[in-house]
Structure 1
Amino acid sequence: MRGALVTGASRGIGRATAIALSACGERVAVHYGSRREKAEQTLAALHGDGHVVVGGDLSRPATAQRVVEEAEAGLGGIDVLVNNAGIAPGPGTEHAVDEVDYATWQQRVARMLDVDLRAPANLSYLVARSLIARGAEGVIVNVGSRGAFRGEPTAPAYAAAKAGLHALGQSLAVALAPHGIAVASVAPGFVATERQRDKLAGDAGEDLRAQSPFGRVGTAEEVADAILYLTSPAAQWASGTILDLNGASHLRS
């Protein structure tokens, strides 16, 4: 039985991933940013026991360290890290260059890079160093985005952060393989999570579903299933991969 830290597990892809990992017998640390009650709902949905809840703003390096330490103490060690927490494009985070003023641009770009790139970089470092000190094998899976490849014109920092996250994962895959630590990423397209419900139900919903030739968007469970595979010991040889999960809505060479 391994210990798994899933960031941003209070809802959406993080919650689905935590549930999937627990169904396979893993002990899970459910991380939340600010909504503990949502994390407690995830905790209640997990299979088995030995799970814990940890919280805090991961963009703060000291908080990231505390979260890892609390998760390690609660689980008896972290063998699996899923870097899922992030800020997605939306009304309060978008920063189209031809629409926002310079102060807004700076604030939103800095915040998105801090949460979507610097935080998972710090967590990956902390978990990897702990695994190395223990002499244990492990796995890190990053939740990236198709936006890293196709661009995000209204939220360019999101695309930049996710592209950086993919590159970080590939660099760490090479660096950590001698220690028996695998690192991979998934790159989902649009996913029908709780925070996207209104958008899917509104005028944009039809266009979003039409992006895929399947005529629908993805589900959190589909992404979780892919993460579950990449966290399995059988997937070590997939280290370094970036797995597209977008229903053929964006093809890259």
Structure 2
Amino acid sequence: MGDLSGRTALVTGASRGIGRAIAERLAADGARVAVHYGGNEAAAKETVAAIGEERAFAVRADLSTPDAVDTLFARLDEEFDGLDILVNNAAIATSSDFENTTSEEFERIFTVNVQAPFFITQRALSRLRDGGRIVNISSGVTRIAMPEIITYSMTKGALDTFSRTLAQQLGPRGITVNTVAPGIIDTDVNASWLRGNPEAEAAAAARAALGRVGRPEDVADVVAFIASDDARWITADWIDVTGGSDL
């Protein structure tokens, strides 16, 4: 474990799945964590309870709404006097194929997956201490073509570009900006087609060189490393956490 004692962290979309695992790991390493959630208050409370109220608190903000950033930072400023780690994890994780995507769906996904992390990061910069960490959670779909979720893939491609460009801008402050790109992970988002379906699980596992479906902890451990002092000389990187999928 890295030593994040005395550090503060904001993890968006942290009530379930990958975000929860990240929040729990950062807290285990010593950080105090703001557990952002969009609507599932019960899940957010479970995450805070699992971590412990001395290390975590929940903050609600619907990232699809215009006042989301104001709402988020009003609560953060009540608890933190500065920020050390920002993990932009929250995202709408599915989309229609090209022929069936509507303008409403396109706008909604880009609002949550691209606009929200852009303006959350913009607002965070005045609070982020020099030497801080920004970690953006992208996806292996920016490397692997998946036409069935083309809009989602496009949003993650935008996030990749955002990370690399921001790394250049923030380098003089010693702030690193990196992208972590998971593959197929066993979370609630994928539960409907993955869990309890041996054929689907076997097919998903077969795509990975390491021969299994990923777990949230597989991603969280990489994020924890990037957030630690051990990763001080890594920035503008795109880290593949797909288990070697579709090589």
TM-score, normalised by the number of residues in structure 1? 0.90
Deviations 1:117-160 (A, max 9, x none): 111111111111323xxx63311100000111212311211111
Equivalent residues, number: 240
CA distance in 2, matches of 1:225, 1:139: 15
Q: 1:248 to 1:50 in 2, by over 3 A?
A: closer
Aligned-pair CA distance for 1:110? 1.1
Aligned-pair CA distance for 1:196? 1.6
CA distance in 2, matches of 1:223, 1:115: 21
Match of 2:212 in 1: 216
Secondary structure at the counterpart of residue 136 of structure 1: strand
Equivalent AA in structure 2 for residue 222 of structure 1:
D
Residue among 173, 176, 181 paired with 1:179: 173
CA contact (8 A) 1:54 1:67 kept: yes
Q: 1:221 to 1:50 in 2, by over 3 A?
A: closer
Match of 1:148 in 2: 142
Aligned-pair CA distance for 1:212? 1.1
RMSD between aligned residues: 1.6
CA distance in 2, matches of 1:136, 1:72: 18
Name whichever of 39-48 and 196-205 sits farther off: 196-205
Residue among 74, 84, 88 paired with 2:89: 84
Match of 1:117 in 2: 114
Match of 1:242 in 2: 238
Deviations 1:85-115 (A, max 9, x none): 00112xxxx32123x2xxx521111111111
Secondary structure at the counterpart of residue 151 of structure 1: coil
Secondary structure at the counterpart of residue 64 of structure 2: coil
Equivalent AA in structure 1 for residue 96 of structure 2:
H
Secondary structure at the counterpart of residue 117 of structure 2: helix
Question: Where does structure 1 lack aligned partners over 5 or more consecutive residues?
Answer: none
CA contact (8 A) 2:93 2:189 kept: no
Match of 2:192 in 1: 198
% same residue: 37
Secondary structure at the counterpart of residue 214 of structure 1: coil
CA distance in 1, matches of 2:186, 2:59: 25
Residue among 102, 108, 114 paired with 1:105: 102
Aligned-pair CA distance for 1:213? 2.8
Correspondence 1:41 to 2:46: yes
Match of 1:74 in 2: 79
CA distance in 1, matches of 2:202, 2:56: 39
Deviations 1:66-101 (A, max 9, x none): 202312321332211100000112xxxx32123x2x
Equivalent AA in structure 2 for residue 180 of structure 1:
G
Equivalent AA in structure 2 for residue 221 of structure 1:
E
| Structure 1: 4+ residue segments shifted above 6 A | none
CA contact (8 A) 1:189 1:249 kept: yes
CA distance in 1, matches of 2:239, 2:70: 28
CA distance in 2, matches of 1:184, 1:154: 27
Q: 1:151 to 1:234 in 2, by over 3 A?
A: same
CA contact (8 A) 2:12 2:89 kept: yes
Question: Where does structure 2 lack aligned partners over 5 or more consecutive residues?
Answer: 1-5
CA distance in 1, matches of 2:179, 2:107: 23
Residue among 124, 128, 139 paired with 2:133: 139
